[in-house]
Amino acid sequence: MLEQKEYVQAETFFLNYLDEYPDNLEVRECLGDLYGYQERWDKAIEYYRYLVEQKPKVANYHYKYGGVLGMKALQNKLAAIGLIDDIEDHFVSAAKLDKTHIDARWALVKFYVELPGILGGTKAKAHAYADELLALSAVDGYLAKGFIYKSSKDYKDAEENLRSAVKIGGSVTCYKELVALYLEEEKYQSALALLQEAYEKHSYNNFLYEIGKISAEQELQISDGELCLEKYIKNYHYSDSYPLEWAYLRLAQLARYKNKKDTALSYIDKSLAIRADFSLAKKERIKILKL
């Protein structure tokens, strides 16, 4: 039920089960997960707090509790300051209790990087946990180091670490992080080359759209962008990240750059046929009509 996002049915099942077996911690954890998926942070906090109180030596309970406290802090800025110490304490407890807990160390890296210095943010502690990640998993360590350096605008060291992650791990995530760095640096040609490499390795459809998007936004490698967008549409699955109306919008932009008015209009009309209130497509249509 959780996997199918049937949250109402799952909640009813778990609560009924808990009435019959109130000491079942696994069911309480499932309820915490369920409320977390629904972003019902207070309810998730209630269940994870109980787990931590009952089993204070279980690292994953501390990790999940710290996580939902963090999400509540992001949602409620007034409550955030009062939650910071608890968030840190539970993530640190998870890392201490389980020397191999990768997610807890990632949480601490992000916590110390994103928290303002006046509230306890520190790159030194972030690097310390990134070093621990490096010892546990080279890919995670390099990704964490890249994340820290990128946050400091130290692009040279960020690229070095992210390229190491791509070389060692080569996962979709590794490629995404390095592409994001190149885009932040406005190294669009590097981003395009890397996306092509990533698609050849993984056949991940979203990479095709991202190539087309950069082509359309930067007027680069227009023909390659068109081919990639056409392939994205052909291979499209509802689980892909970018709706078809966006792909048709990008194709319309690329056709406009080539002064192909009729082609551009056909694409933009397909975009608007899918989503009639698509404001960017409406604006693009006005530009096309001026050709």
- Let me know if residue 141 belongs to a domain: no
DSSP labels, 35-76? HHHTT-HHHHHHHHHHHHHH-TT-HHHHHHHHHHHHHHHHH-
Residue 120's pLDDT is: 64
Q: Is the pLDDT of residue 260 over 70?
A: yes
Highest mean pLDDT among 22-26, 112-116, 283-287: 283-287
pLDDT-derived band at 17, boundaries 50, 70, 90: very high
| Total number of domains in the chain | 2
Query: Last residue of some domain: 98, 129, 151?
Result: 98
Residue 122's pLDDT is: 82
- Let me know if residue 117 belongs to a domain: no
Q: Is the pLDDT of residue 131 over 80?
A: yes
Whole-angstrom CA distances from 148 to 12, 125, 169, 290 are: 42, 11, 19, 46
Q: Report the alpha-carbon distance of residue 188 to residue 225 in Å, rounded.
A: 13
Query: Last residue of some domain: 98, 119, 154?
Result: 98
Which residue segment(s) compose the domain that 280 sits in? 214-291
- Let me know if residue 71 belongs to a domain: yes
Tokens of 71: 């999400």
**How high does pLDDT run on average in the chain?**
94
- Let me know if residue 266 belongs to a domain: yes
Query: Last residue of some domain: 98, 124, 141?
Result: 98
Side-chain half-sphere of 182: how many Cα atoms within 13 Å? Answer: 20
- Let me know if residue 251 belongs to a domain: yes
Whole-angstrom CA distances from 108 to 37, 55, 70, 162 are: 21, 21, 11, 19
Q: Is the pLDDT of residue 118 over 60?
A: no
pLDDT-derived band at 121, boundaries 50, 70, 90: confident
The closest of 87, 61, 83, 135 to 127, measured between CA atoms, is 135
- Let me know if residue 6 belongs to a domain: yes
- Let me know if residue 17 belongs to a domain: yes
Which CATH number characterizes residue 13's domain? Answer: 1.25.40.10
66-82 confidence digits (pLDDT tens): 999 999 988 877 777 88
- Let me know if residue 207 belongs to a domain: no
Q: Is the pLDDT of residue 117 over 70?
A: no
